[in-house]
């Protein structure tokens, strides 16, 4: 068994989008949009190609991770550059086998090597706490609505990078493409049934959970 993690190349694009679609289909909402985000993010100014990787198993791509520029706007208007990752996807046939962890750990190490200061993400805490992520509330970093959510987390890559900032996290607009193009793009893939599933409602509850922790 040979595992290789390498930068995504243009020849990989469609395969990565197909895997991303499969990985997220009916997961958070009926259908999925993450494959469309991957497709459009590559052409956005905030896209970070040097941190966008695929993972191969015996020459076959089974997953990918995308990175983009994010910024924190301090209370005095000062902007602090950080980065974010997502979408992250592994072919469902290879879930829970450690490939996602390898991909994430590799990309974090490379981000640190390249000199990035911090990573800010949105996701399930139990997924990302093992990598060292902690609630962004620890650094007094809120979302634009002024609230601190358990699903908004930060990982410092340079000591003290987020100390004393206190501000608002602004994820890249590249992560929120025009939804009008999603339907047409999705029609270029095999038809799949969109289903409303119980865990989707639970995701909405989790995504809106306020961080009540004391750091």
Residue-wise pLDDT tens for the chain (215 aa)? 999 999 999 999 999 999 999 999 999 999 999 999 999 999 999 999 999 999 999 999 999 999 999 999 999 999 999 999 999 999 999 999 999 999 999 999 999 999 999 999 999 999 999 999 999 999 999 999 999 999 999 999 999 999 999 999 999 999 999 999 999 999 999 999 999 999 999 888 888 999 999 99
DSSP designation for 126: H
pTM summary value = 0.96
Domains and CATH numbers, the chain: 3-175+198-207 (3.40.630.30)
**Cβ distance 47 to 35 under 8 Å?**
no
Phi, psi of 69, deg, nearest 5:
-75, 140
Q: Which helix (H) or strand (E) holds 185?
A: helix 182-186
Is residue 69 within 8 Å of 52, Cβ to Cβ? no
The answer to whether the CB of 117 falls within 8 A of the CB of 177 is no
Residue from 80, 117, 124 nearest 100 by CA: 124
Tell me the torsion sign for CA atoms 188, 189, 192, 195: negative
């Amino acid at each position: 068994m040979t595992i290789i993690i390498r930068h995504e190349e243009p020849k990989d694009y469609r395969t990565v989008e197909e895997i991303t679609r499969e990985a997220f289909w009916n997961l958070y909402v009926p259908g999925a949009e993450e494959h469309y985000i991957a497709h459009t993010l590559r052409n956005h100014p905030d896209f970070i190609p040097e941190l966008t990787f695929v993972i191969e198993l015996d020459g076959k791509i089974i997953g990918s991770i995308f990175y983009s520029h994010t910024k924190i706007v301090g209370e005095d208007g000062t902007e602090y550059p950080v980065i974010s990752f997502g979408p992250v996807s592994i072919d469902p046939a290879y879930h829970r086998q450690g490939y996602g962890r390898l991909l994430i750990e590799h990309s974090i190490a490379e981000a640190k090597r390249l000199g990035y200061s911090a990573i800010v993400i949105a996701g399930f805490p139990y997924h990302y706490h093992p990598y060292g992520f902690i609630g962004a509330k620890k650094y007094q970093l809120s979302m634009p609505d002024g609230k601190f959510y358990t699903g908004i987390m930060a990982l410092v890559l340079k000591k003290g990078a987020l100390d004393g900032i206190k501000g608002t996290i602004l994820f890249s607009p590249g992560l929120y493409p025009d939804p009008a193009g999603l339907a047409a793009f999705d029609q270029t893939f095999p038809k799949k049934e969109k289903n409303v599933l119980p865990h989707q409602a639970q995701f909405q509850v989790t995504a809106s959970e306020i961080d009540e922790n004391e750091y």
